[in-house]
Homo-oligomer: A and B are copies of this chain.
Amino acid sequence: MEFKDSKGIFQQIADNICEKIISGEYPVFSKIPSVREQAAVMGVNHNTIMRTYMELQRENIINNQRGIGYFVTEEAPQRIVQLRKEEFFRHEMPEFIRQVKLLNLSQEELKPLFDQLNKQP
C-alpha cells in the first residue's frame, strides 16, 4: 500500500480498514487480520499496525479477544458512518464549496461533478 505524506500512516491504515468495514468487506463480528499479518500486507512496521488497532479499539470499532484476535464490533458500521458524516458536513463540504468559488469554476467544468453525484441514487 502507498501512503501520502500529509497524514500519519497509522491514520491512513485506519481509514482503509474503516472503509472495508462499511463496504462489507470486513463484516460485523468478523475477525480482521492479525497485527503481524496486516503489517506484512501493508509493508509497515507492526508497531504501526498496533497503534492503528488500538485507536480503532478506543473508538469501539474493533475489539480484542486476547490470544485470538481483533473483531469488528456490532456498532462499527453505524459509528463510522456517523463520524464521517459529521466531519463531512462540518469541514469537507464547506471547504469544497469554498474551493469551487475561489477557482471560479464554470458550469462546464463542474458538469462531470454533477454527473457523478446524480448517477446512482
Contact = CB atoms under 8 A, between A and B. Distances in A.
Nearest to A5: B66
Given A107-B121, A117-B110, A96 B92 contact: yes
A86 B67 CA distance: 30
- Main SS of chain A's interface residues? helix
30 contacts: A3-B66, A5-B66, A19-B102, A22-B102, A23-B102, A45-B67, A81-B103, A81-B104, A84-B102, A84-B103, A85-B103, A85-B105, A88-B99, A88-B103, A88-B105, A92-B96, A92-B99, A93-B112, A93-B113, A96-B96, A96-B113, A97-B113, A97-B116, A100-B117, A101-B120, A104-B121, A105-B121, A107-B121, A110-B117, A114-B114
